[in-house]
Amino acid sequence: MGLGHTTNANTFTKIPSLQNIRAISAGHNISMFIDTEGRLYSAGSALLHGNKTEKNQVIPVAIEVFEDKQIKTVSCGAAHCAAVDSVGILYTWGSNSFFQLGHGNDVLILFSPLEIT
């Protein structure tokens, strides 16, 4: 994911738009990348990429909600993601069908990261 197309790649391939990546996480239909400045980029499913659009992303794009934050870690599951910023705040998004996001049972899907309070 993130190569600008939807064709399977059977070998490791550099993603030209990404530089200085220090951490990655991948789920069922999503890839996340953290650069050395703490910016979080995503490519993949509209449900999981975190940018409030219902269109899949084939090229990694910075997640807008984290524009003024430094992300330290990210983890992706089958249909949800979680990220922790530099001050220890946890954010989750994606499917909440089993209440795995930690926001109660009022919402089934979060298209954009939301802080756990």
Mean pLDDT per block of 10 residues along the chain (117 residues) reads 59 83 94 97 86 83 95 95 98 93 90 93
- The answer to whether residue 64 sits within a structural domain is yes
- The answer to whether residue 4 sits within a structural domain is no
Backbone angles phi, psi at 70, to 5 degrees: -105, 125
- The answer to whether residue 51 sits within a structural domain is yes
Q: Contacts for 100-105 with beta carbons within 8 Å, 24 or more apart?
A: none
State the total domains in the chain. Answer: 1
What pLDDT was estimated at residue 107?
87
- The answer to whether residue 102 sits within a structural domain is yes
What pLDDT was estimated at residue 7?
65
- The answer to whether residue 7 sits within a structural domain is no
H helices within the chain, ranges in order? none
pTM higher than 0.75? yes
- The answer to whether residue 93 sits within a structural domain is yes
Instruction: Name the token pair of 47.
Output: 């449900």
Quote the CA–CA distance of 2 and 44 in Å, as a whole number: 7
- The answer to whether residue 8 sits within a structural domain is no
Residue range of the domain that includes 31: 21-115
